[in-house]
A and B are shown apart, each in its own frame.
Chain A
């Protein structure tokens, strides 16, 4: 579903999502018996417009029960996160962490960015992936192989991702040294601070050979500071 249609949908359903959620909480229904009951993006948006906080809470419950896929739920919440502020944004952010779908987050952030621009889509996705930790690493590795210019926003996440073996992170970062996009290679310079000295030195040695003289010079300067 496109972000624009999510923002524009407005017709409330007769039975609200919240009422469904309340009913399910009090019943002995299982995901199997509830399989026929599906919710749609329109149900969610209609409920969200009436009771944003409860709508998200209920969506999480439905995702937990398997009534909506976590990927779909991520697709519905992520666009709302961009425009949310204050406590509502915190709630959406937490909901997306609970849904824990790094691949979906990356897919939706990148496709929405391609269509609508605004780097907040990428910085928020990068922040969420950082908080998802090791679980996000396979998706980040695939992104790095894609050679997309948007990798620049995710390089600091790859470098600092907690609970991922240093060797695995370094391999991905080294693969990005050959990126055709200057911004991606530039972002590697700052990211070296998240690495232990020996690994940072290896990466900086590679960057010091960069065809872009500014990158090469900055890498040599960083090397000089570490080795001093």
Chain B
């Protein structure tokens, strides 16, 4: 039998992801006629404050960032989480900016990818409208990550050196089912 050669699909798109912890909240973004105020409540809020995101390549690095962010939730169980994918051109379109700021996951290579979205409340409303519109047009702006992917990444973190994984992050990894 010929050996099957596995070839990973590499998507080189860089996106900013806003990781969200309420497992089914993403379904709102798939339904028609959702009010912008409802859609923006959890990811961006109404205060025009800096919003925490990660700049990642879609696919594996994105999953790693979502799992690293999961550690900040400080849980002892896995649940489905999801992320909104924001492209730089979305921000340019609205006039928002991005600022590099340190992350707090305790996973060094992800913390360096942390960014803040900077804009006022109106800009976040426009961003929400824009993302909702892009999703309606069929773009893949939602990423869902479940138990299996999170657990795999947590195992990966636990094999990392101390220069990559902080002690606090290691403790949080160990609190999760192995």
Given contacts A117-B42, A152-B22, contact A83 B50 (CB under 8 A): yes
**Residue numbers in B under 8 Å from A186 (CB-CB):** 23-24
- Chain A residue nearest in CB terms to B50: A83
Of B58-66, B67-75, B155-163, the segment with at least 4 beta carbons within 8 Å of chain A is B67-75
19 intermolecular pairs with C-beta atoms under 8 Å apart: A3-B47, A4-B47, A83-B49, A117-B41, A118-B43, A118-B49, A119-B42, A123-B21, A131-B74, A152-B22, A156-B75, A156-B76, A156-B79, A159-B76, A160-B77, A160-B175, A187-B22, A190-B79, A193-B76
Cβ contacts A1-20/B at 8 Å (1 or 0 each): 00110000000000000000
> Which residues on B sit within 8 Å (CB–CB) of A156?
73, 75-77, 79
Bits for B80-111, please: 1 = Cβ < 8 Å to A, else 0: 10000000000000000000011110000000
Interface size on B, residues (CB 8 A): 36
Given contacts A86-B104, A90-B104, A159-B76, contact A193 B21 (CB under 8 A): no
B residues 111-141 touching A (CB-CB < 8 Å):
114, 116
Known interface pairs A86-B104, A183-B24, A186-B23; A117-B77 also in contact (CB < 8 Å): no
- B78 surroundings in chain A (CB, below 8 A): 190, 193
Encode contact with B along A122-133: 1 for CB under 8 Å, 0 otherwise. 010011001100
A-contacting residues, B11-69, CB 8 Å: 20-25, 40-47, 49-52
A-B contact count (CB 8 A): 100
Given A116-B46, A157-B74, 11 new contacts (CB under 8 A) = A85-B116, A90-B104, A115-B46, A117-B44, A119-B43, A127-B72, A156-B79, A159-B77, A186-B24, A190-B23, A194-B77
Asked if B2 is an interface residue, CB under 8 A from chain A, the answer is no
CB distance from A149 to the nearest CB of B (A): 10
Query: Which residues of B sit under 8 angstroms from A194, Cβ to Cβ?
Result: 75-77
Interface of B is mostly: loop
The 9 closest A-B pairs by CB, nearest first: A118-B45, A190-B79, A86-B102, A160-B76, A117-B45, A127-B74, A193-B77, A117-B41, A116-B47
Determine the chain B residues whose CB is within 8 A of the CB of A74 once the complex forms: none
| B22 and A119 contact, CB distance less than 8 A | yes
Interfacial chain A residues near B72, Cβ < 8 Å: 123, 127
- Number of chain A residues whose Cβ lies closer than 8 Å to a Cβ of chain B: 36
Residue from B25, B41, B76, B175 having most chain A Cβ neighbours under 10 A: B76
Determine whether the beta carbon of B76 is less than 8 Å from that of A183.
Answer: no
Cβ contact within 8 Å between A190 and B77: yes
> Chain A: which residue is nearest B69 at the CB level?
A123
Bound: A194/B25 CA distance, A: 22
- Chain B residues 143 to 159 lying within 8 A of chain A, measured CB to CB, are 147
Q: Is the CB of A85 within 8 A of B43?
A: no
Partner of B102, one of A85, A153, A160, A193: A85
Judge if A170 is at the interface, Cβ distance under 8 Å: no
Closest Cβ–Cβ distance, residue A126 to chain B (whole Å): 7
Residues of A within 8 A of B175 (CB): 160
Alpha-carbon separation in the docked complex, A82 to B45 (Å): 12
Residues A130 and B50 in contact, CB atoms below 8 Å apart: no
B73 contacts A127, C-beta separation under 8 Å: yes
Cβ contact of A182, chosen from B24, B51, B177, cutoff 8 A = B24
A145 within 8 A of B: no
Residues from 164 to 193 in A contacting B, C-beta threshold 8 Å: 182-183, 186-187, 189-193
Residue in chain B with minimal CB distance to A195: B77
Contact B47 A119 (CB under 8 A): no
Is A120 in contact with chain B by the CB < 8 A criterion? yes
